[in-house]
Amino acid sequence: MKGDYQELVDEISGLLGVPATLENRDFELIAFGAHDSDDDSAMDPVRTRSILTRKSTPAVRSWFEGFGITRATGPVRIPAAPEAGVFRDRICLPVRHRGIVLGYVWLLDARPGPTAGQLTSAMQVTDRIGALLADEERAGTDLSRELRAVLTAERGWQYDMALAALRTALGPAAEGLHTVVCVAPWSSGGAPTARAVTGASALCTVPWPWPAGSAAGRSQAAPAPHAGDGASSGPGDPGHGATASPGRTRKGGRGRPKPDEGPRTVTDLAGDAGADGHALAVLVRLRAADVLAPALTAAGRLSEATASAAAGIALPRRGMGDLAASWREAASAARAVLAEPGLGPVADWSSIGPYRLLTALPAGRSRDPSAAALLTPAHAELARTAELFLDCAGQAGRAAAALGIHRQTLYYRLSRVEQLTGLDLDDGEDRLLLHMALKAARL
C-alpha cells in the first residue's frame, strides 16, 4: 500500500538524514522522502524528473544497472555521470525478497556519508519494503479470474465458492480495508496487471450492461443556444433575445465544462470512451476509511489512460463479505457520472445524491409515464428548464439567472411543463416525481 511505502521511505530518510526515493524494479516511482534541506543540489535533475514524471529515463536506468544493482544484496555506491544526466553521486539500496530484486531505494551520497551501521539499519527497512512489494505482486498476479467470478456470479453457492477462492488467494490481506473502483466503459482491449495500479489487490474486466445514457437524458444535456440565437424552446416562447445559458454543472463537480464550452453531453463522453460493453473493476486496499486517496488516484489514472468516460468508487469496507454490494455502489457511481458529467470524471458513491436510489431500481422501472411527453426530443429545452428549476429548489430567480432568461420566460416554460405532464409544480410530491423522472431519464 502506498501509505505503508511512504512511512518506510520516511523511516530510511530519518535513519540516514537524507531524503530517500523508492522505485520499483522498472524504475517507476513509488514514494519519496520530503526535501527540507537548504541544499538545492539535493534536487538534482534525475531526482526531480523521477518525482515529476514518476519514472527515470532509459539512459539513467542503463547507467545505474551497469553497476550491478539488479544482482546486489547490499548498498551500491554509484558515481555521478553528467553525460547520462546523473549529476550527483548516489547510494542504491536494493529491495529484495527471497533473492529477487523488486525495487530500489535511492539516496544522494555526500561526504562523510552514512556509516556502515546506519546502512545496515536502512537495509533492514528495505527487507520490509520487499515483503510489501512481494505481497502486492503476488496478490495481483493471477486474481482477475477470481475477482471476475465473484462479481459476475449469481447469489448462492456459486457466489460463496467464488468468494472463498478470492479470500484464499488474497490471504491475510483479504480481511483488510478495501474499496472497489469501477471504470466504465472500458475500451482499451484488456485489463492492466494489478502491479501496474498502485494499491490494487486485484482487477478484471466485467460485462457492462448499461448504455452510456438514454436518448432522453442526452437531449436534456444538450448545449444551450449561443448568445444571439435566443433562448426559445419553440414558437410562442417569449424568451427571444435572451442571453445564452451557461454550461450547467453540479455543485462540487470535478468535471466542470469550461466557461466557453457548452456542457458535455452523455453522447460526447461515450464517444470519448468508445463504449464496448465492458467495465474495469479494481479492488483497492485502503489504510483508513476516511482516506480514499489510493482509490481516487487509481480511478483518475485509469480513466485518463483509456479516455474512459467515468469512474466510480464504493464505500470502504473491511473484508470481502460485502464485495457484491461494493461493486454495485462503484458501478452506480460510474453510471451517475455518465448521466451527470458534472459529477465526475471520478465520483464516490456517497456523493451522487439521488442517483444512489435511482441506480438501484431495476432496469426499465425508473420511467414514469407522466414525463413521457416532456422527454421527447421536441421538448428538450422544456425538460432542461424543469430540471434546472427543480435543482434550484424551485427558486425562480436562481433558475432564470442560471438559464439566462427572463422570469416571465421561465414561468411560461414551467406552465408548458405542467400542461405536458399533468403535474402541479406547486405540489411537493409532484415536484419530487418530476425531478426523479428527469434524473432517471439520464440513466
- The answer to the question of residue 175 being in a domain is yes
Range of the domain at 48: 2-138
pLDDT for res 405: 92
- pLDDT tens, 263-276? 332 223 333 333 45
User: Per-residue pLDDT for 59 more than 70?
Assistant: yes
Final residue before a domain boundary, out of 97, 113, 138? 138
Task: Indicate which CATH number applies to the domain containing 378.
Answer: 1.10.10.2840
Confidence band of 46 (pLDDT split at 50, 70, 90): low
Final residue before a domain boundary, out of 307, 338, 358? 358
* Average pLDDT taken over every residue of the chain: 77
Looking at the structure of the chain, the number of domains it has is 3
- The answer to the question of residue 149 being in a domain is yes
- The answer to the question of residue 247 being in a domain is no
pLDDT for res 142: 57
Same domain (yes/no): 129, 146: no
- The answer to the question of residue 253 being in a domain is no
- The answer to the question of residue 249 being in a domain is no
- The answer to the question of residue 123 being in a domain is yes
- The answer to the question of residue 218 being in a domain is no
The percent of residues in the chain predicted with pLDDT above 70, rounded, is 74
Same domain (yes/no): 333, 371: no
- pLDDT tens, 116-154? 999 999 999 999 999 888 877 665 455 888 899 999 988
pLDDT for res 248: 33
Final residue before a domain boundary, out of 138, 155, 185? 138
pLDDT for res 99: 87
Per residue, what are the HEC states of the chain? CHHHHHHHHHHHHHHHCCCEEEEECCCEEEEECCCCCCCHHHCCHHHHHHHHHCECCHHHHHHHHCCCCCCCCCCEEECCEHHHCECCCEEEEEEEECCEEEEEEEEECCCCCCCHHHHHHHHHHHHHHHHHHHHHHHHHHCCHHHHHHHHHCCCCHHHHHHHHHHHHHHHHHHHCEEEEEEEECCCCCCCCCHHHCCCEEEEEEEECCCCCCCHHHHHHCCCCCCCCCCCCCCCCCCCCCCCCCCCCCCCCCCCCCCCCCCCCCHHHHHHHHCCCCEEEEEEEECCCCCCCHHHHHHHHHHHHHHCCCEEEECCCEECCCCHHHHHHHHHHHHHHHHHCHHHCCEEEHHHCCCHHHHCCCCCCCCCCHHHCCCCCHHHHHHHHHHHHHHHCCCCHHHHHHHHCCCHHHHHHHHHHHHHHHCCCCCCHHHHHHHHHHHHHHHC
pLDDT for res 366: 56
Same domain (yes/no): 9, 86: yes
Confidence band of 412 (pLDDT split at 50, 70, 90): very high
Confidence band of 422 (pLDDT split at 50, 70, 90): very high
Same domain (yes/no): 111, 199: no
